[in-house]
Structure 1
Amino acid sequence: MAAAVAVAVAGGAAVVAATPASAAVETIKNATFTWGVSGYAQVGIFGPWTFKDLSGNATQLVGSVSGGSQSEYVVAPKPATSMPFSDPQKTPNAVRFTAGTGTVDPATGASTLSWTGSYTVNAYPALYNAPNEIYSDPKLTLNAQGSGTLSFHFEVGAGVDQAGAPTPAQDLGRVALVNFANGAVTGLDADGYTATPAYQGVAVTVPEGETAQVASCTTDGGATGWWGSWNPAFVNALPASVRPHFYSTGCTGNQDLKPALPVDVSFERYAPASVTVSSTDLQSDGTTEVTVQGTGFAPALATGTRPPFAGVASGAYIAFGRYADVWRPSAGAPPSARTNPAGANGTGAAVVWAVPAASFAASSPAQSPAATSYTELRTDGTFTAKIKVNKAWLASAAGNYGIYTYAGGGPTVAQYETFTPITFHTESVTFGADASAVVGTPASLQVKVYAADGQVPAGEVEVRSGADVVGTGTLSGGKATVALPTDFAVGDHELTVKYAGSGEVRPSQATAVLTVTDAPVVEPPAPSATEVVAFDATATAGRAFTLPVAVAAPGSVVAGAITVRDGAKVVGSATLTAGRANVAVSALAAGTRSLTVSFVPTASTLLASHTTVSVAVAKAAPAVKVTWPAATHGKVATAAVAVAAAGLVPTGTVQVFDGTKLVGSSALSAGAAKLTLPKTFTAGSHALRAVYSGDSQTAGATVSRTLTVATASSTSSATLSSSAVKAGARGKVTVTVAATGATATGKVVVTIDPRAKGVKNRTVTGTLNAGKVTVTLPKLAKGAYSVTATYAGSANVAGSTAKVRTLTVR
């Protein structure tokens, strides 16, 4: 875990650099791998082995054993390694692979590295047609103790064996050529190491009929006593023609040259990521937005393992969180060790993801770089993020508050892991009462410290005269009496009272004056100064509210009266109890009010004082009640509206809308209004809204209601032009339909019902005009007929039937 950073802040915010992650497995770049195979390969039977056909990232370093001049790969001669001794000492032939990738723990050498490319080795002159040995794509794996393997994709070409018999080509696939035992790594530094393969004492059992391993070598006569083998699985996979090059087949001659030579590894480390945070010492209440600047977050280090950035550069999380002491993914810490704010306070607020712009095109599901949850991880490994911090969001969590970064989208990248501690504080105010003393006598200073959030400050205070500390004290209940020395000269001495802070409560200071006189003051002591403390409050128009007030005077029990004025008007008063009062303040007009809070002491030993406090008075929320009438088309209806708000008589206007159409308006009087609804309302349902406009003290409001308007009733009457007509003549009937407040329209049906049995009725239809129509009857046979007029009604007027009339045809 990164060490905490101590920061002294004077007069403003500090920019703090986070410490990088402690040593851990790191992704590295441009790794090189240099190897001379073995001492045997440097001399062979017919001379140094041939290195040829290099491809990919493999190059040959030609040593002085073959007339070259390479000095980059130098190994000590036998018995330090299997390199043959010469005077002057020759350098070996070697192969160097470059552009390797993988991970390394710089503290231990634990590595997983791989390279691409190949080279071919042949231990014999070309005339023998011995098979080639093809080494491709090396991979080196070491653990923290140094043990591991070096593997290649290994092939043996076609050729002939020592007896001249043809041997086929073999592809052994990937095989570990050598193993490494614990302690194999030496020379470890920040950018490389040497690893020596195991050989001595490694037993191998070769196929029956071949030269068996000799394991009886001794150190008699100054011999090395070496016997051993390369990785037995590799040795036994080789054809018999080349197998003896890799294990001990005797104890003399070139047998001591068969162990594998050391492997030299070097690499480049990415610069560790770091961040700066615009402010790390924050108020303990409320939300603060800090700016986080990141550098060293090389995009290539992190490749996502899960959506939405799987398989592409997935960047880093920047988070305000409360994490355990062991929190780093690279240290194996589980997600439960990292607690971030949840919900709307989390992603896009306290947590932002820095992602390369190019990664969004491949995101799945598709992501937008414009989303608040993202910021750009620039190609140079830098980012700028805005992070919201609020202590309360993580109050229930355990761990260390801070700004944290680590790889996003699933990968583990130690270089990305940083921790910048965040501390929270509460402002304090220190008050020191002026004091007096007679020269040569002890004096003391009364000190009181207040915390903005209501905490009772604890800790130490000191009093200075200039640069000299002249007294100290410990707060109890936020107060302290500091004893002063007796050597002050006559006169006024300005003293600085400093509170050191404690926990989250910030330091503060004040000044006080010590007056030293020649003789005792005969007059009564001057009244002590007092301080009125009132806090901003909110209120609602028309309603009284409570204003907490405290009065302090160091060293005194404060008693007296509090008066609260709005301008010249007294709006509240109270009597202090133990220096505090909750003042009931009468209702205030809406708006921001500046109230004067005055203290008048009971005792003459205290001075009166006052302060001002700003109160935001919100408009009152009204209760709007509408009594809707029963409505009928053609009749005027009246809705009664009552608007009430506690402590107020609302004024203003009430309007009624039918949909978006204004259909009525009235001003409130004594909080009430009558709204006349038009008689032209069509029959059916109407979505009405009563909208109260509000006034200077009362907020507006809306009440909705669906009003059903009934159809107007109608009365039909029928009048025959003559009650008796001659046969063959046509009579007439005039039908009149009356409707209250409306004009009937539509059809009238006149039914002629012969009174003689067995004769069918006949009907005639007419259309009303201005509520009236005259219908000509058909020619009728002699007889008596009942004539009935029926009005079917319309959308706004109900139907009706006229009184039956009798028509006689002679």
Structure 2
Amino acid sequence: MSITSRARRGLATTVAAVLTTGGFVALAATPAHAAPVTTVGSNPVVDATFTWGLSDEQGGGAFFGGCNFLSAGAAGNTGSSRLWTEADGFYKNVDGNVTIQKPDSTGAPVAPTWSTKCQTAAGTPVVAASTSSKTGNQVRITAGKGAVSVADNTANIQWTGSFTSVFYGGLTYWSATNPKLVVRPDGTGTVTATASGYGTDMQDTTKWTTIAPRTITLATLKNVDVTSSGLVVGGSSSPAITPDYLGVTVQTGTGTAQATSGASWGSFPQSYIDFQQLTGQSSYWYSSGGARDAAKPAAPLTVGLSIAGPAPTVTVSESAIAQGDTATITVSGRNFDPAIATGSRPPLAGKPSGTYIAFGKYADVWKPSESAAASARSNLGSATKWAVLAADTATIGGPNAGAVELGADGSFTTELTIDKAALDTTATATTLKNYGIYTYPGGGATQPAYETYTPLTFGSTQPPVVEPPVVTPPVAQPIAPSKVSVKRGSTTKPTTKRTGRTSITVSAANGAAVTGKAVVTFKKKGKKSKTKTVTVRNGKAAVTIPKLAKGTWAVSVKFAGTASFQRTATLKRGSFTVTK
């Protein structure tokens, strides 16, 4: 149903309502059309560099075997718990995108050789008796790909390559493959990888088993800002991000109990420790009360970025479906660079595989690049298109199969017929709750820059524009505006350097979807109040909290009211404390 016909139907309903009062109406009306909405995606990452030494213990002296060290690539199987030899050929300082480096006497990074891998920057052997004696070795992985949004403070980056963590000269070792970084808008992040290796036991080195590969969390992060050149500590320009360790508790199972006192107590993430229980290294990654606990905290990591632009954008001709459940809308995309998404399955395996464009009902976590299951995405088949290069449209079945041309410049335009009721018949899982126009890479490609979400709302959000009627008695009695209530949602607190986020929900006593304006005020004693005027649509409004001084800020909300909804007094809605 077109927008015009829906508006006419609404107008007919208005006329019928007045006629039931016994009056006569003469009026004219024009339909109200929603303005197009544009969603800006993330910038593609041309190159990302990840550098990390894991911990000082990873480059420290060992009580047997010389030292603990890093090696490029996934090491082969020694067949038993024994010291590595140079003849094994397992040790590498370069393997594909992965290099191992450590500082020389001037602090410049150099590639350690077999003979220098256990030396300090000064060229002396590391010793286990001192926790400050270390090689400073780090793994450096280049050519990371993905997408970042500086505006949204998000990042999704995948590296290809492996490194190996070796302890006690080779008695125990494991490998991490294809690290992945995700940073969320609130500044938290994770680094994950596929871990594999061999299991042994300090008390029984005859034990040697192959460990099945599994995904583990290498590091969790807080207070991260995403910039166009890399990650920095929130509110600063420092690129050295220290992962969580200090004060982190962990379950050690049958392993050595965690010590939870002293200046350096803590742990790597739980899944990391669970995996190390199998390798025999577990207590080297959390405080165990030993002499080397001070060397165990996570070392700072850095992530440098080179990003491309402009970011992909999606423009939807109508995002608020005013009346009914159906509409035909135009969806246009720009900057979907065909070269950055390569298919992994037929019929476009190894070729630019374009992007899907779909009306769907998705879960909160839905992105393929974040390993969301296919069940997190439910599309209406008749409103799903696949934009590919002109030469490939016939390959995927042509227009009758949903093929849309993706221009060499990364642009596309198509129409989708929205039918909420039809989608609801198949999208029944309780986790599926977000209606919208979605794009994501086609053909099994991985490209987070292609992943966009433009919300759609259903229900009366804007009445038809009606000319003042001429009414003969009896006059229809106006409907009194409904009372409303206001709630504040969860809050991402701002800092003195960075904005925060919250939301408000305005509910009408008569159950109607509320629209209108609201003023949100942030007030602190001795400081000038800050205000934000927001637009409430379908009962909700997102609020950007400005950068604020340290201290406790009270929040109040005043809904301005409309012809349909009563205005409110200034309502106190809690507070939050800015701490940094």
Tell which has more relative contact order, 1 or 2 (C-alpha 8 A, sep 6+).
2
Higher strand share: 1
Higher helix share: 2
TM-score for the superposition, normalised by structure 2: 0.42
- Higher-Rg structure is 1
